[in-house]
Structure 1
Amino acid sequence: MAEKRKVNPWLKAALEFGPLLVFFVVFTRFKDTQFAIGGTDYSGFVVATALFIPLMVVTTAILWRLTGRLAPMQIATLVLVVVFGGLSVWFNDPHFFKMKPTLIYLIFAALLSFGLLRGKPWLQLVMDEAIPMRPEGWVILTKRLIGLFVALALANEVIWRTMSDQAWVNFKTFGLTILMLGFFLAQGPLFSRYGLPKDGD
């Protein structure tokens, strides 16, 4: 098993969210611009996606180099970004990239559900070091997170199918992050009730 190394949290946050912010800035700047490349016209959305993919690969590789490991969520996200982002660029169609959050949230919900059916809250394997809790706490948190992932997948579908590109980009860049942060902040009572003291506490 690869050794997990500590990294400056600000640097880690910059590497994790930097590509998304670059995508937001490039799209916002060039959303009404058409780029003629190789005889084909590409929208600002597709160009921003084309820049986002290699940047995501590079920052993920740097994270792996610095920390010595990658979480399953990071690996799955990178794979889906490359596949669906690549399809959007290849077919010059933003719809593929917009579908990516739906698929990744449904995959996570399915995996967590499968773990619960087997009596193993897999979320504990990923987060137990950061949030030590009793087993019943992990079961409750897993069920709540499954519900959140399904709700986010549905929200993404509604937004990209019914609203503008700018609305979807705003939702992906800021909305999803705020909702996830708000969800975990709202779990304070759960962590207090079922939490276990860390070593040294």
Structure 2
Amino acid sequence: MADKKATDMTEATSQSEKKAPSALTRIAIDFGPLIAFFLSFKFGGIYTATATFMVASAIAMVVSRVLTGHVATTLKFTFVVVMVMGGLTLWLKDETFVKMKLTVINTIFALILFFGLKTGRLYIKMLMGTAMEMEEAGWRLLTRNYAIFLAVMAGVNELIWRTQSTDLWVDFKTFGYMGIMIIFLFAQAPVLAKYMPQEEKSDKDEG
């Protein structure tokens, strides 16, 4: 019996470690396909980049499953959109579909967050609540801000791909969007500071 408990504890510890990938691994899963898309576009054009992006997205799914023991819902959804829009791009030889992928993903996520606000479901809190404590009002504000951000960026993507060259759109998708996202995340610091429990703020200040 003791041996069984020890084995169970060992397996639980092993699974726990497996579900906590390093920051570098997380970045590779999240941004690896995007970097592969950018590099393959520079060397082979939009259709080669689209095919590469589809393969890289599938690899990211497998890597996430192997290293963390699960695949995030957002990653699954993004993978489906990538496969559909990328497949249409290659089949019809029309780059419009791959360019609209970012618009589709951002719009759907924005609608989900707005729907959650209306129905009392704070999806960002569901995703991040175990890693960070914050008052309900803070989660609502953060959800609203992120939903607005996604809606605006969907519009920005539409404006850029419809009015600018494919080269400029690829640069925006790879670096511009990421840069704007980082700025947006830093801009949420006042929300965290205002609504984070005092104890957690003190711990962060001491650290």
Match of 2:27 in 1: 13
Structure with the greater relative contact order (CA < 8 A, sep ≥ 6): 1 or 2?
1
Relative to its length, the structure with more helix (as a share) is 2
Match of 1:37 in 2: none
TM-score, with structure 2 as normaliser: 0.84
Match of 1:162 in 2: 163
Aligned amino acid, residue 49 of structure 2: A
In the alignment of these two chains, the number of paired residues is 185
Give 1 or 2 for the bigger CA radius of gyration: 2
Deviations 1:30-85 (A, max 9, x none): 3xxxxxxxxxxxxx201111111011101221112211222222111111001101
Aligned amino acid, residue 26 of structure 1: S
Aligned amino acid, residue 11 of structure 1: T
From 15, 27, 30, the counterpart of 2:41: 27
Match of 2:117 in 1: 116
Aligned amino acid, residue 66 of structure 2: R
Aligned amino acid, residue 190 of structure 2: P
Of residues 151-160 and 55-64 in structure 1, the stretch that sits farther from structure 2 once superposed is 55-64
Match of 1:179 in 2: 180
CA contact (8 A) 1:16 1:60 kept: no
Deviations 1:126-179 (A, max 9, x none): 111233211100111111111101100000000000000011101111111111
Match of 1:135 in 2: 136
| Residues in 2 aligned to 1:176 and 1:76: alpha-carbon distance in whole angstroms | 19
| Structure 1 runs of 4+ with >6 Å offset | none
CA contact (8 A) 1:71 1:126 kept: no
TM-score, with structure 1 as normaliser: 0.87
Deviations 1:92-129 (A, max 9, x none): 11110100100111101110111111112111101112
Match of 1:147 in 2: 148
Match of 1:52 in 2: 53
Match of 2:84 in 1: 83
Aligned alpha-carbon RMSD (Å): 1.6
Listed as ranges, the gaps of 5+ residues in structure 2 are 1-14
Aligned amino acid, residue 7 of structure 1: P
User: What fraction of aligned residue pairs are identical, expressed as a percent?
Assistant: 38
| Residues in 2 aligned to 1:132 and 1:72: alpha-carbon distance in whole angstroms | 22
Classify the secondary structure of the residue corresponding to 1:93.
coil
